Amino acid sequence: MTDAICYRDAYARSCEATVQGVEATPDGLLITLDRTVFYPGGGGQPADAGTLLALDEVWGGQRWQVASARKTGDEILHLLAGSQPGDAPEPGARVRVDIDWERRHLLMRTHTALHALCGVVWRDYGAQVTGGNMEPGAGRMDFEFERMSGELVGEIEAKVNAELAAARDIRVRVLPRDEAFAIPDLIRTKINLLPPGITEVRTVEIVGLDLQADGGTHVANTREVGRIRVTGYESKGRINKRIRLEIVDAG
């Protein structure tokens, strides 16, 4: 089992860890650690990138680039793209784990901005989410709207920016399944993506605006997001409309 620090502390940038396993794949080596600050991806948020730094003398301070990470069961696997057996630390070796913080923080800001968008659309228009995705500094969400217009999108953009400027705190909690599902409208997606057998549900709340089940990383307060700009909207079906946004100062 990997101690996944990111789920309880999104601001942790580095930790020390012990290598638990090494697996060769066509894409490179997959390294399993006993603990990590890497977010393994999910819910539309990409996995982190970063580095591993050898702490044992035998490797002489060697550093490896981690291209991505993924979760398999209770373990998080770190991909050393292009590496081959013998190129990386073996089980038992000590390493320092560092994420690309600038990229992660921008993803955190983007993810929180998308939740603010979701909160505004649900509160004011009652539209469920039908899909979404993001990259550092930009993202999109699909909603169950029958009609969309430039005027409506401009109205939504202004409302989202007002909520971000309101400096709302973001709270992350892990709740027992029954307690979580007793919360009205906890699932904002058209399809419930939570596994049926889970016993606990992680929730993310933008205080006073939005509360939903979510497994990603977020900033601590909406003021940290800054402002967003809606960069486009389009129809993806009869009652499925897409809104694209970007963080204004992301580039």
Lowest mean pLDDT among 26-30, 112-116, 136-140: 26-30
Q: Do residues 90 and 231 lie in contact, with contact meaning Cβ atoms separated by under 8 Å? A: no
198 and 130 in one domain?
yes
Query: Is residue 115 domain-shared with residue 169, that is, in the same domain?
Result: yes
Shared domain check, 113 and 69 = no
Position 92 scores a pLDDT of 94
Q: Are 194 and 213 in contact (CB under 8 A)?
A: yes
Please tell me the distance from the alpha carbon of residue 116 to that of residue 126, in angstroms, as a whole number. 14
In this prediction the pTM is 0.92
Of the candidate ranges 51-60, 91-100, 129-138, 141-150, the one whose mean pLDDT is the lowest? 51-60
Per-residue model confidence as pLDDT tens digits over 2-14: 999 999 999 999 9
- Strands annotated E in the chain: 3-4, 14-25, 28-33, 35-36, 50-54, 63-66, 68-72, 75-81, 94-99, 129-135, 138-143, 170-176, 200-206, 210-213, 228-235, 241-247
Residue 108 sits in the same domain as residue 40 = no
Nearest-angstrom CA–CA distance, 239 and 79: 39
Domain end call among 64, 83, 99: 99
Among the ranges given (14-18, 145-149, 163-167), the one the predictor scored with the smallest mean pLDDT: 145-149
Mean pLDDT of the chain: 91
Domain count, the chain: 2
Residue 228, pLDDT > 80, answer yes
Q: What is the pLDDT of residues 78-94, one digit of tens each?
A: 999 877 777 888 899 99
Report the CATH number at residue 235.
3.30.980.10
